A and B are shown apart, each in its own frame.
Chain A
Amino acid sequence: MEYDNNIPIYLQVIDRIKKDMIQGHLPMGEKLPSTRELALQYNINPNTAARIYKEMEQQKMCFTKRGLGTFVTENPEIFNAIREDMARKRLNGFISEMKELGYTKEELIEAISQNF
């Protein structure tokens, strides 16, 4: 994975994991790698890897079973919320870029329905 050095790495990895959850690569209840494995998988600092799970746990994306490891949440509402949140962010970015190009709402809707 290539990193953008201007965005904290832990946020970039969390984003990637969210995408994997939405796309079904990391289904509900799936066991996540240990922090050490996560560090090796993403070529990141082990302490950053630990921070990622801490952050994800706070966002209720995952939970820890003592002695067993970290698992993807089994709550479908969280999955939905992540999907909606990611969609909203991308949509907002897209809309503001199209606005910069001078598109009106109607033109934009027209362009989308033609190209979708």
Chain B
Amino acid sequence: MLKCENLRKTYLNKTAVDDISVTIEKGKIYALLGPNGSGKTTFMKMVAGLVKPSGGEILYKDAPIGIVSKSEVAYMSTEPYFYSFMTVGGVGKYYSEFFSDFDMDLFKSLLAEMELDAEEKVTHLSSGMAAKLKVAVTIARKAKLYLLDEPLNGIDLIARGHIIKAVLRAAGEDSTIVISSHLVDELEAIVDSVIFIKNGRSVIAGDAEKIREQRGKSIVELYKEVYS
């Protein structure tokens, strides 16, 4: 459903993405792996249509990034983006006005599952709770492609468990999920495929189980090998 070829993004004299070529298939969960600064966020922003590539091509359902892709792609950035005056429930309302595919019932059930209080002000949330809220509002959209940038970063074990459950709930034949992370361990069991990004380049991409079988090592071990 998404095809990127020789994707490139440079800022003045800095190269954020050098050469990423990947194909994302419908109905799968992908791990986008790489250390900080390897180009994962820039890549996601290009797919989300927030950053214009300097070179190469992105095709979403055989068409360039545009109105259609933007309406079907739900992107969760690493930066916090809630207004401080909002409550948890208010964030949901705000989203529902912005996105026609926002499912309020699903949002409410996600809040309950993640143990988030709709009345709580977003300024009072712990970082773990804020991270869960970000995932909840993103996943409550009935999108076709979810791009979750570092959803597990810097949060406790229990909150991570909640987020992983929510991600698995959003997975399905019609939805595709890309999760960026450097916490490979957490993703090993839940992803279909992995994409390794190193210095702005896609160095390994493929089916997680096949990679394990062919190379005789876990994704975690492979990660250590690629980046050490």
Q: Across the interface, which residues of A come within 8 angstroms of B218, CB to CB?
A: 5-6
Which of B165, B172, B213, B219 is the one whose CB lies under 8 Å from A46?
B172
Any chain A CB within 8 A of the CB of B147?
no
Given contacts A39-B168, A46-B168, contact A8 B212 (CB under 8 A): yes
Any chain A CB within 8 A of the CB of B190?
yes
Any chain B CB within 8 A of the CB of A59?
no
Interface bits A20-54 vs B (CB < 8 Å: 1, else 0): 00000000000000001001101111111000000
Given contacts A5-B219, A6-B218, A40-B165, contact A45 B172 (CB under 8 A): no
Cβ-defined contact, B190 with A44, below 8 A: yes
Any chain A CB within 8 A of the CB of B189?
yes
Given contacts A3-B188, A39-B168, contact A45 B29 (CB under 8 A): yes
Any chain A CB within 8 A of the CB of B192?
yes
Given contacts A5-B218, A5-B221, contact A40 B189 (CB under 8 A): no
Q: Across the interface, which residues of A come within 8 angstroms of B185, CB to CB?
A: 5
Q: How many residues of A contact B (CB 8 A)?
A: 15
Cβ-defined contact, B191 with A5, below 8 A: no
Q: Across the interface, which residues of A come within 8 angstroms of B164, CB to CB?
A: 43
Most buried by B among A44, A45, A47, A48: A45
Cβ-defined contact, B221 with A47, below 8 A: no
Cβ-defined contact, B192 with A47, below 8 A: yes
Cβ-defined contact, B209 with A8, below 8 A: yes
Any chain A CB within 8 A of the CB of B169?
yes
Any chain A CB within 8 A of the CB of B159?
no
Classify chain B: how many residues form its interface, as a range.
Answer: 20 to 34
A8→B165 CA distance, assembly (Å): 20
How far apart are B97's CB and chain A's nearest CB, in angstroms?
Answer: 30
Q: Across the interface, which residues of B come within 8 angstroms of A39, CB to CB?
A: 168, 171
Cβ-defined contact, B190 with A43, below 8 A: yes
Q: Which residue on A lies nearest to B219, using beta carbons? A: A5
Q: Across the interface, which residues of A come within 8 angstroms of B157, CB to CB?
A: none
Q: Which residue on A lies nearest to B218, using beta carbons? A: A5
How far apart are A78's CB and chain B's nearest CB, in angstroms?
Answer: 26
Q: Across the interface, which residues of A come within 8 angstroms of B169, CB to CB?
A: 40
Any chain A CB within 8 A of the CB of B220?
yes
A87→B60 CA distance, assembly (Å): 52
Given contacts A5-B220, A8-B209, contact A45 B165 (CB under 8 A): no
Q: Which residue on A lies nearest to B185, using beta carbons? A: A5
Any chain A CB within 8 A of the CB of B28?
yes
Q: Which residue on B lies nearest to A5, using beta carbons? A: B218
Q: List 14 A-B contacts (CB under 8 A).
A: A3-B188, A5-B185, A5-B188, A5-B218, A5-B219, A6-B217, A43-B189, A44-B189, A45-B29, A45-B191, A46-B172, A47-B28, A47-B192, A48-B209
Query: A5-B221, A9-B188, A46-B172 provided; 13 other pairs, C-beta below 8 A?
Result: A3-B189, A5-B218, A8-B209, A8-B213, A36-B172, A39-B168, A40-B169, A43-B164, A43-B165, A44-B168, A44-B190, A46-B29, A48-B189
Task: For the complex of A and B, list the 9 residue pairs with the smallest distance between their C-beta atoms, beginning with the closest.
Answer: A5-B218, A44-B189, A45-B190, A9-B189, A46-B171, A39-B168, A5-B220, A5-B188, A3-B189
